[in-house]
Amino acid sequence: MHSGLVAEFESPGALAAAARRLRGAGYRALDSYGPFPAKEVEAALEHPRPRLPVLALAAGIVGGLSGYLVQWYCNAHDYPIDVGGRPAHAAPAFVPITFEMTILFAALATVLGLILGCGLPRLWHPLFEVEGFGRAAVDRFFLAVSRGDERFDAARTAGELTAAGALRVAPFGEERAP
């Protein structure tokens, strides 16, 4: 979301009502900003569930299997050593390393997935240039509509945001008029 329109609202309820109205009109590229999370806004935006848990599970499985297979290869296949008549492939002995590799891979995938999924590091965003947007950290709520949305038309979208109760509507991003 690098350009589009942003609308300012007084309360999370007003923002949620506007988000429901725009979602009902067919808009999909919506995002909200406010001083605290609001469940009704999250529900109104209908964002899809994150794929991060699936990524963490897949990475954990890969880590566990790779840890187990490396131990099996080293101890049972490549260089088996007979120690006190024990079998070369003793699965209980492989459990600690397998567990640690599972946790390591899942944790690394989670951290990297979170960083990439959030678009970090991002030190600047076009919304920061909108006059009054700093109040999103204090007492105002903002709804941004991306120019990439199929239904986006600057004039029509601004009219729909105003009709939905926006205090003001402002453009942001590359196509912003000086």
Amino acid 33: pLDDT: 95
Is 147 within a domain? Answer: yes
- Number of domains observed in the structure of the chain: 2
Do 58 and 101 lie in a common domain?
Answer: yes
In this predicted structure, the answer to whether residue 100 has a pLDDT above a threshold of 70 is yes
In a domain, 178, yes or no: no
Range of the domain at 97: 52-117
Q: Are residues 45 and 93 in the same domain?
A: no
Residues 99 and 150 in one domain: no
Co-location of 96 and 78 in the same domain = yes
Q: Is residue 130 part of a domain?
A: yes
Say if 98 falls within a structural domain. yes
Please give the Cα distance from 170 to 144 (Å, whole number): 9
Tell me: do 110 and 159 sit in the same domain: no
| Residues 56 and 112 occupy one common structural domain | yes
Domain-located, residue 22: yes
Indicate if 99 and 147 belong to the same structural domain.
no
Q: What is the mean pLDDT of the chain?
A: 92
pLDDT of residue 58: 98
Instruction: Give the residue, 60 or 118, on which the prediction is more confident.
Output: 60
* Identity of the residue numbered 102: T
Q: Are residues 110 and 58 in the same domain?
A: yes
Task: Tell me 73's DSSP state.
Answer: I
Query: At which of 117, 133, 154 does a domain end?
Result: 117
Residue with tokens 């240039």: 129
Q: Are residues 137 and 87 in the same domain?
A: no
- In this prediction, residue 175 carries a pLDDT of 53
pLDDT at position 107 is 98
User: What is the predicted pLDDT for the residue at 178?
Assistant: 45
